[in-house]
């Protein structure tokens, strides 16, 4: 199958995967939600998810090398079982959804994540108390994350609902997140294959985009040590808001 020839796709895919790599490198974790929403502006959302998965798997290897041994075993034991169950549920739902339904879900996930983030950043807000770890809550939000990750590689927001209030050390949080999504992505290869998302065209497109994986991860590690998330997130939130609104409109048929 030939490569995708639409220039708009490549103009969106290249920065999308660089942002995903930066997120995998431990900087501005919300940037990892941009890949599928951006590409879905040019191609069907399920195809965007299929193209993204092999590249994300390569990024996971680079991310694990960068954050090796710094994760929280306690939290991984809580969220991983639920995450695997969420992948199975997501695979069952994925095959029943049309492109419009997937775009609507991806857009809503993006906008809910954006709204939650902006609400937490409002002036004068008192930081919430540190939450107590819970296997039950960890399993639940891990399952929700696995489900949304399977549909649109957008498992970051649900996982953040559980992990962020724990106030983990920044490096521990980054490493734990990288391990969780690394396991999820490799598990997702099985249902994606049977759902036909790893077609020859998708895999060839992924191969062309693959060099962006180590570049983005290394850039993320570099930025995490040198730059505040605040400025970067402002740009990400603007992009996420515009993209989310467009995808919701497409999903509703406007």
Report the distance separating Cα 62 and Cα 65, nearest Å: 5
Lowest mean pLDDT among 18-22, 135-139, 202-206: 18-22
Which pLDDT band holds residue 239 (cuts at 50, 70, 90)? low
* 236 has a pLDDT exceeding 70: no
Q: Do residues 34 and 240 touch, judged by C-beta distance below 8 A?
A: yes
Q: Calculate mean pLDDT across residues 179-201.
A: 92
Which pLDDT band holds residue 21 (cuts at 50, 70, 90)? confident
Which percentage of the chain shows pLDDT scores above 90? 25
* 1 has a pLDDT exceeding 60: no
Q: Do residues 49 and 95 touch, judged by C-beta distance below 8 A?
A: no
pLDDT value for 61: 86
Report the distance separating Cα 91 and Cα 196, nearest Å: 12
* 128 has a pLDDT exceeding 60: no
Torsion region of 196: left, alpha or beta (phi above 0 gives left; psi -120 to 50 gives alpha):
left
Task: Give the torsion sign (CA, 150, 116, 233, 139).
Answer: negative
* The token pair that represents 156 in the structure block: 């970051």
pLDDT value for 232: 60
More confident residue, 189 or 61: 189
pTM of the model: 0.77
Torsion region of 208: left, alpha or beta (phi above 0 gives left; psi -120 to 50 gives alpha):
alpha
């Amino acid at each position: 199958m030939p490569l995708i020839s639409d220039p708009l796709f490549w103009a969106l895919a290249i920065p999308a995967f660089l942002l995903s790599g930066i997120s995998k490198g431990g900087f501005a974790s919300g940037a990892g939600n941009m890949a599928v929403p951006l590409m879905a502006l040019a191609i069907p959302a399920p195809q965007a998810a299929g193209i993204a998965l092999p590249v994300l798997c390569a990024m996971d290897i680079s991310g694990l090398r960068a954050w090796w041994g710094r994760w929280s075993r306690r939290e991984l034991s809580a969220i991983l079982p639920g995450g695997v169950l969420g992948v199975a549920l997501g695979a069952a739902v994925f095959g029943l959804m049309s492109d419009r339904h997937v775009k609507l879900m991806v857009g809503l996930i993006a906008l809910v994540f954006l709204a939650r983030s902006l609400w937490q950043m409002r002036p004068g807000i008192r930081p919430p108390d540190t939450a107590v770890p819970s296997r039950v809550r960890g399993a639940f939000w891990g399952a929700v994350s696995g489900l949304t990750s399977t549909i649109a590689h957008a498992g970051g927001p649900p996982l953040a609902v559980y992990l962020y209030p724990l106030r983990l050390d920044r490096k521990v949080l980054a490493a734990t997140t990288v391990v969780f999504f690394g396991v999820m992505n490799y598990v997702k290869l099985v249902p994606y294959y049977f759902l036909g998302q790893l077609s020859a065209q998708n895999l060839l497109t992924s191969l062309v985009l693959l060099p962006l994986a180590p570049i983005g991860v290394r850039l993320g590690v570099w930025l995490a040590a040198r730059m505040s998330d605040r400025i970067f997130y402002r740009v990400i939130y603007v992009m996420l808001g515009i993209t989310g609104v467009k995808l919701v409109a497409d999903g509703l048929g406007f």
